[in-house]
Structure 1
């Protein structure tokens, strides 16, 4: 197992976004069962966000309830929390006063039930000098209120700029068979050079790689994914094809397409010149959390098949709408 902020982490993590970022949050008994299953499977790197869900039902409130009921799990979980958002807006501000407000809010919502091992700004703020933002968060590290600093959705140049100011505990970026950008844009090379682990979010392509989404009817009317370019009606059918093709590889291996997709993301950690990569799939049920936590290994032949699939199957639409 690798170590982050002094704590050991497993090779697969767990993302909490799907539990709360929906019109009706997952009921606590179901959410708790999924979280327990993830931890039992060794997925002890948990990723949350103060803006995952509504102000009345967000992931930190869920975590407080979970760790209040299961206090024995708190020390076994490495918790990374995204914040820095402007209240009431889908915008990020790295201004010191906003960061202090955000970190204090996160700590208040957890209310001592669990420490924050990593705090990360969800995006870089071009309007605030980076040094001011990092110094603000670093003060909380020095005071022992948080364990370390993480950064999210960053370029190789931004990683270097952040790391020059303070040790960076982890870099959270998207990585999946459908979104392999960080393998070619210098991000993984930079993280490897600076010995920074990569936390790979959306390793299942937001569900497109599970073969469970074929058209818009497979999504709830208020599903946030409907706002993303790859899930628009004119693109979804084409993008779902990769999941269908992946299903054939998974069937031959005797596992699920999701397990293949997660194993593909993990496989890059084993290659020369690559940093530790921890995929953080999200799941809303105990069964799926246990399934995603299984460590499947892919043969060179299977990896070659996936690479051919990646090259031959076009992905239509960007990861986010313009401006995000």
Structure 2
């Protein structure tokens, strides 16, 4: 079993973003049922965000409701929260004031029902030196026991190395999927392996492109937030669905579903020499999908090589993010 901050976590975690960060959030009782299903299936690393939703209903308010109903689950869950990016996720602020405001708000919304095991600044603030941001987080929050540790989100390899000289990094969260294997070659995975930092792989199903659920652009509701992502634009969407069929054929050949193949691949990557421990955090809202995502399949070395070859050869249409979403370069 992988460990984070000395706590065991399941091989697959759970991303909570889709429960609240959408134009039509699912009913709160359905969200709580989804979370309970995840935990019952061993997905106890939960990843959430201060800005996943509205000020009135977001990851933290949902988590508070969940642990109010199931207080016995608080110690079973390893909770990672992203913040310091404004309530709309587009105003990166790693300043002392920005970090304090974000962490304090998250703690206040949780009402003491659950410890924040990992706090991550959602993006690096180019205007604030890392030593300033981490100085506040470490001295005022980790050392005082208000949070368990500090993670990194959407960073490049040089940032990981720079941060590791300042603090103990609990985990690095980056996008990794068969459609986005970039971190395996750009030094990020190598840095995590060298420094023995777990890599948390978000969007292992490429925001639904690797689920088999979408057959045409018409399957996306007009209100779906996916429309802002370039890979879901009309000129790219169908081409990407056609690419997904290559992996769907491999899953069919193996006798598993496409999501099970895609998620299991991210974990199998850990077996390669010089690779870090990888923990994927797929998000789903329906218990049946959550259960499906939790069921892993064994990927042989030959299958791993075939999947890696296909992942590197395909040309996914569109960038990962629209230009207005900041990155670490």
- TM tier, smaller: over 0.9
What residue is the counterpart of 2:223 in the other structure?
222
| C-alpha spacing 1:308/1:194, structure 2 compared with 1 (3 Å) | closer
- Alpha-carbon distance in 2 for matches of 1:271, 1:88: 38
Deviation at 1:323, TM superposition (A): 4.0
1:262-301 alignment, distance < 5 Å: 262-301=263-302
Contact conserved, 2:55 with 2:87, CA < 8 A, in 1? Answer: no
What residue is the counterpart of 2:172 in the other structure?
171
Aligned length: 324
Contact conserved, 1:209 with 1:242, CA < 8 A, in 2? Answer: no
- Alpha-carbon distance in 2 for matches of 1:287, 1:301: 30
Contact conserved, 1:215 with 1:233, CA < 8 A, in 2? Answer: no
- Alpha-carbon distance in 2 for matches of 1:306, 1:20: 33
Task: Supply the RMSD in Å over aligned alpha carbons.
Answer: 1.3
SS at match of 1:37: helix
1:62 maps onto 2:67 in alignment: no
1:43-82 alignment, distance < 5 Å: 43-82=43-82
Deviation at 1:118, TM superposition (A): 0.1
SS at match of 2:148: coil
| TM-score with structure 1 setting the length | 0.97
Unaligned stretches of 5+ residues in structure 1: none
Contact conserved, 1:214 with 1:236, CA < 8 A, in 2? Answer: no
Contact conserved, 1:83 with 1:102, CA < 8 A, in 2? Answer: yes
SS at match of 2:151: strand
Which digits, 9 at most, give the CA deviation of each residue in 1:182-227, with x for residues without a partner? 0010001111111110000000011001121233211111111100
| TM-score with structure 2 setting the length | 0.95
SS at match of 1:302: helix
Unaligned stretches of 5+ residues in structure 2: none
SS at match of 2:22: coil
- Alpha-carbon distance in 2 for matches of 1:30, 1:126: 39
The runs of at least 4 aligned residues of structure 1 exceeding 4 Å deviation read: none
